[in-house]
Homo-oligomer: A and B are copies of this chain.
């Protein structure tokens, strides 16, 4: 009885793939192409250069890089040193960057040339942080240090800041095991084909992009990284790069379909993984009409991306669902909240034992998202718990009201929030962007809602705006909507 049945270590994935798939394409990003052998060599060389800057076991190394081959190389180089990657959102302001550098205990930040000034300013503001450019490191000397030859599953790989919709972002510490199990669960659900190529138009600094970097080496599969999101470029990549799977959020997919103008995607495209919050029924319907193999997914940074995913073949039959939990993760609902347990659940929030203890109890991650499971175990995600509106004791799910507003032909998009009210506790308020100003008047939309919703769900105010505030991931920031709406006037009747 001498052998553990749950391994704690395994051969280093990129090195293993350089062995088994050395000549296969590992990465395409813009003009750059790398085989697994190339990537293995580059990662090793970059690791030795980083070592000359004092990077070693557990050093926290921030990345302020655009999507591209340097980012992917850095991910693997940092892993080989046993260091921890802190990917930074390139859209953050200097003060925000400085806060994250300091919060994450970063010692060195590696930036692309055009972000070097911001990295330097943020590093200086944070104090005790060194800023270097990727090119400087690449040109620097190399140290003859020992590099990791095995993956320790329990070791931290990265601290990824959540694209928080409220409060300060928290650093989510993800392990190599989190990524392994996420990749396995995804493969068991979506399958794994020899010719798979996974396109990442998502930022690699978010978990949705980062997880593709890891799947690539775990599967021996090429990833294609879009350097920025442009709907025409993404469509062209799907056509020309033999893409079989692409990860997107709703706003991206809408724009891709608009740009596509009804032209079908090639049959090789077998999965459009749609994350970043519940997808609208109209977007799903549009995909089904066009034969787009859309697979809605529910995931979060704290669970290393996908938690539940529909298989594209099920989307028509399970309208509105995000699918079943990916093996071996489990999902249950407690007081309306979605809980997740399994090996994809984060190590914890970095350096925040209290927040970790609140979020993960008895192994169950409390996601803060509301939803339910149907009789067959399919998950339906409703809303963030913090976005739930309680009006006169009744629960109002903003997503439900938003979906009804979006059904109106004059409405482009909508965000619904609760605003404080003396009589009812909260009342429903909407902010709307319009396709057609003439038809989508406040009176018309209220009438539209009244015909479809209980009275307490109908917005008491509707404000028209040019754009909704969004996170860099494309999610509507209801917190920002709430803050702006709370300052407006709210009628008292309900």
Residues B2 and A188 in contact, CB atoms below 8 Å apart:
no
- A426 CB within 8 Å of chain B: no
8 Å CB interface, A105-144 against B: none
Of the listed stretches A338-346, A447-455, A473-481, chain B binds A338-346
Q: Tell me the complex Cα distance, A377–B17, Å.
A: 11
- A406 CB within 8 Å of chain B: no
- A194 CB within 8 Å of chain B: yes
Residues B175 and A5 in contact, CB atoms below 8 Å apart:
yes
Given that A3-B363, A11-B327, A193-B193 are contacting pairs, would A19 and B175 also be in contact in the complex, using a CB cutoff of 8 Å?
A: no
- A296 CB within 8 Å of chain B: no
Residue of B nearest to A314 (CB): B20
8 Å CB interface, A363-402 against B: 363, 376-377
Q: How far is the CB of A216 from chain B (nearest CB, A)?
A: 13
A218 proximity list for chain B (CB < 8 A)? 188, 327
Residues A356 and B2 in contact, CB atoms below 8 Å apart:
yes
A2 proximity list for chain B (CB < 8 A)? 348, 356-357, 360, 363
- A95 CB within 8 Å of chain B: no
8 Å CB interface, A312-345 against B: 313, 324, 327-328, 330, 342-343, 345
- A265 CB within 8 Å of chain B: no
Of the listed stretches A176-184, A252-260, A407-415, chain B binds A176-184
A347 proximity list for chain B (CB < 8 A)? 1, 3, 5
- A22 CB within 8 Å of chain B: yes
A313 proximity list for chain B (CB < 8 A)? 194
Residues A191 and B188 in contact, CB atoms below 8 Å apart:
no
A403 proximity list for chain B (CB < 8 A)? none
A20 proximity list for chain B (CB < 8 A)? 324, 377
Q: Tell me the complex Cα distance, A11–B332, Å.
A: 12
- A483 CB within 8 Å of chain B: no
8 Å CB interface, A289-319 against B: 311, 313
Residue of B nearest to A152 (CB): B5
- A7 CB within 8 Å of chain B: yes
Q: How far is the CB of A156 from chain B (nearest CB, A)?
A: 9
Partner of A7, one of B1, B6, B324: B6
A444 proximity list for chain B (CB < 8 A)? none
A363 proximity list for chain B (CB < 8 A)? 2-4
Residues A5 and B153 in contact, CB atoms below 8 Å apart:
yes
Q: How far is the CB of A457 from chain B (nearest CB, A)?
A: 32
- A79 CB within 8 Å of chain B: no
- A233 CB within 8 Å of chain B: no
10 pairs, CB–CB < 8 Å, chain A vs chain B? A2-B357, A3-B348, A4-B343, A5-B343, A6-B7, A7-B181, A11-B330, A19-B377, A188-B220, A194-B311
Residues of A within 8 A of B (CB): 1-8, 10-11, 13, 16, 19-20, 22, 153-154, 175-178, 181, 184, 187-188, 191-194, 218-220, 311, 313, 324, 327-328, 330, 342-343, 345-348, 353, 356-357, 360, 363, 376-377
Question: What would 9 more interface pairs be, CB under 8 Å, given A6-B8, A19-B377, A191-B191?
Answer: A1-B347, A2-B348, A2-B360, A3-B345, A3-B347, A4-B343, A4-B363, A19-B376, A187-B187
